[in-house]
Each structure stands twice: as structure tokens, then as C-alpha cells.
Amino acid sequence: MQLHYSPAPEATNTLSTEELRSRFLVGNLFQRGAVTAHYTDLDRMVFGAALPISSILSLPADRELGTSYFLERREVGIVNLGAEGLVRAGATTYTLGHLDCLYIGIGEREVRFINGAEGRAEYFFVSTPAHTKHPTAVVRHAELRTEPTGDPAKCNRRRIHKLIHPDGVKSCQLVLGFTEFEPGSVWNTMPPHTHSRRSELYLYFDLGQEAAFHFLGLPHATRHVVVRDREAVLSPPWSVHCGAGTGAYRFLWAMGGDNQIFTDMDPVPLAELQ
């Protein structure tokens, strides 16, 4: 399990391009036949990917967690970005199709990732600390009914699909979903905002050969990183987070912190961005 420590806002302004990428950008998450896991000091979120091939993979129980098993003091959200596969939580096996999500609460000793008949299941998971147990639940992509938001004239017409949130599948701290765009729209989370009470994680996917330009940093001193398909960006509470792609893409977002309310954000007027 790889550890990630975030720089202070003032230090971020002094980082070179390579240093900026090493502190905020995480790649090589999806490795065939393996589980990757990353532990960040941002609200102690753990995230990673599992790509089972012929063998069954499990959530790691590395020493960095300080527990005997992964969910001893944690909860987790799992999204399948590939073809149909299976996730076994305890004695129950759940079938997850493309973009289906599984929430598993604190205290489940065994979580196992199993490939499907097509052999192309690809799981991404995000975990936050938890102190209250909530029921295991599945969110089906086919059953989502999300109204679009944004303005086509500003190239940000999009659908924000909430998978784990207070009005749907309940959790202790984790909030999770993904955003997809209508044709011709490329800007996400624009106008931007900060989350002084919680951290956020982005995973850009379905980019293909295109690129996304992700903006971070203080509103008056923004920086950017160039992101490729299935790379993640860490967003501290003090940082803006927005971006635009050179073509169609989706991005998964996950948050942890004091408040689960989706609208708990501090907007940044465009006139203040520098």
C-alpha cells in the first residue's frame, strides 16, 4: 500500500511540474491480476483497483491500516468500470455490471473480487474510516434517473450520478458518484469551488487517447496537471478542483470528511480565479 502526504497550500505554489504530479496525480492503478491500494492523509481515504484474471483477489490488510482486516474500522464503495463481474462480501455474492456500485459497511471481514464470464471485470474502490455500520447495498447504473445540469453554451452540460449519499445508499462518511457529459460539453465542476470540511478524489475514465486538464491549488494561485485515462487526482479541502477534456470522458468522484451534504461547498467566483 502506497502512502501519500499532501503539501501545504504555500508549498504547492513552489512545486515543479514533476513534483506537482507526484504529489497530486496517481497512475498505474489498474494492473491485471492484482490489487493496488493507496493511502492518503486526506481524511484517511484509501483507494485503488482490482483486476482479477484467473484467481480471486481480496481487499488488502496491510500494516498501514493498523487493523487485522480491511473493513475492521472502515467502509468501502466499489464501482465496476469493466464488464460484468462478481464481488463477494462475507457469504453473499453480488453481480456488478458496468458502472454498478456496491457499498459495504464497517465490520465485513472478507471482500473478494471475482472475474465475470467475459473476463473483463475492473473494479475501483474508495474507502473512508467509519464508526457506524450501514447495510450492504447495490446501486444499478441502469436504474439511475439523473436529470442533466449545466449550460450547453458554457460547455458544461452534464449528469451528476450520486451513488452513495444521504438521500440514497447510506454510509457513515463516504460520498461517491460519477459525472458524464452530453456531446459537446467538456468542463466539469465549473464554476469551481472548495470543500473546507472534506477532501475529494477524482478518477478520470473513458478518456481513450484524449487528455484532461485538471486544475488545483488556491483560487488565486491555480496550478494544473495533465491527466490520462484512469488516473486519479487528489484534492485537499483548500484546493479548487475543476477540469476540461480534449474529448468525451467521465470522472468518478469520492469525498470524505465532516459533512456528507452534497451542496456543502464554498463557490469560487470566476472573477477571483488566477
Instruction: Output the pLDDT for position 195.
Output: 81
Instruction: Output the pLDDT for position 26.
Output: 98
- Picking from 121, 139, 157, the residue at the C-terminal end of a domain is 139
At residue 135, the 3 state secondary structure works out as: coil
Q: How many domains does the chain have?
A: 2
Q: Assess if residue 4 is contained within a domain.
A: no
Peptide bond preceding 191 in cis form (omega within 30 of 0): yes
Q: Which three cell numbers stand for residue 40?
A: 492518503
Provide the strand spans (E) within 52-184.
Answer: 57-58, 74-80, 85-89, 92-96, 101-104, 111-114, 123-129, 137-139, 158-164, 175-181
Q: Assess if residue 106 is contained within a domain.
A: yes
Q: Assess if residue 3 is contained within a domain.
A: no
- The answer to whether 83 and 118 have CB atoms below 8 angstroms apart is yes
153 with 267, same domain: the answer is yes
Residue 226 belongs to what domain range? 148-272
Instruction: Output the pLDDT for position 167.
Output: 87
105 with 205, same domain: the answer is no
Q: Which three cell numbers stand for residue 153?
A: 453554451
- Count CA atoms closer than 13 A to 231's CA, side-chain side: 20
Q: Assess if residue 14 is contained within a domain.
A: no
What CATH code is carried by the domain that includes residue 111? 2.60.120.10
156 with 253, same domain: the answer is yes
What single string gives the DSSP state of each residue in 49-88?
EEB-SSS-EE----GGG-SSSGGGSEEEEEEE-SS-EEEE
47: β partners:
38, 126
Residue of 116, 47, 44 lying closest to 77 (CA atoms): 47
pLDDT in tens, the chain (274 residues): 999 999 999 999 999 999 999 999 999 999 999 999 999 999 999 999 999 998 999 999 888 899 999 999 999 999 999 999 999 999 999 999 999 999 999 999 999 999 998 889 999 999 999 999 999 999 999 999 999 999 999 999 999 999 999 888 999 999 999 999 999 999 998 888 888 788 999 999 999 999 999 999 999 999 999 999 999 999 999 999 999 999 999 999 999 987 777 677 788 988 888 9
- The answer to whether 227 and 243 have CB atoms below 8 angstroms apart is yes
Amino acid at 214: H
81 with 179, same domain: the answer is no
115 with 33, same domain: the answer is yes
Q: Assess if residue 100 is contained within a domain.
A: yes
For residues 92 and 98, give the distance between their C-alpha atoms in angstroms, rounded to a whole number: 20
With cell 455500520, the residue in question is: 133
- The answer to whether 93 and 86 have CB atoms below 8 angstroms apart is yes
Q: Assess if residue 226 is contained within a domain.
A: yes
Instruction: Output the pLDDT for position 132.
Output: 94
- The answer to whether 35 and 57 have CB atoms below 8 angstroms apart is yes
For residues 241 and 154, give the distance between their C-alpha atoms in angstroms, rounded to a whole number: 17
Q: Assess if residue 18 is contained within a domain.
A: no
35 with 126, same domain: the answer is yes
Instruction: Output the pLDDT for position 2.
Output: 93
For residues 51 and 219, give the distance between their C-alpha atoms in angstroms, rounded to a whole number: 37
Instruction: Output the pLDDT for position 38.
Output: 97
Q: What is the DSSP letter of 209?
A: T
- Picking from 139, 168, 202, the residue at the C-terminal end of a domain is 139
Q: Assess if residue 169 is contained within a domain.
A: yes
153 with 261, same domain: the answer is yes
